[in-house]
Amino acid sequence: MTLDQYNNWEEFRKKKGDLTGAEAKMVANYYADVYKKVYKKPCTCDGKIYQNWINKLNAHFESLEKPTQ
């Protein structure tokens, strides 16, 4: 996770409420990047996929030290 990704995720975790379109795209991008998957943006009509990805990204985020670059 890059420093920009880390900072964006830190801010994202503070947010309450539903995902915006931009946030759904960010989650999909970060998930693909961190877990070496092909980027895909599922429909936001089923929040279970996004919640699963967010949970995995949170676990990854919590296991990292803040990047310096």
Domain parsing of the chain, residue ranges: 3-15+23-62
pLDDT surpasses 90 at 69: no
Q: pTM of the predicted model, to two decimals?
A: 0.86
Q: Percentage of residues in the chain with pLDDT exceeding 70?
A: 99
pLDDT, tens digit (0-9, with 9 covering 90-100), for 35-51: 999 998 888 887 899 99
pLDDT surpasses 80 at 60: yes
> What mean pLDDT is predicted for residues 11-32?
93
Whole-number pLDDT of residue 61:
92
CA distance 67 to 69: 6
CA distance 53 to 47: 10
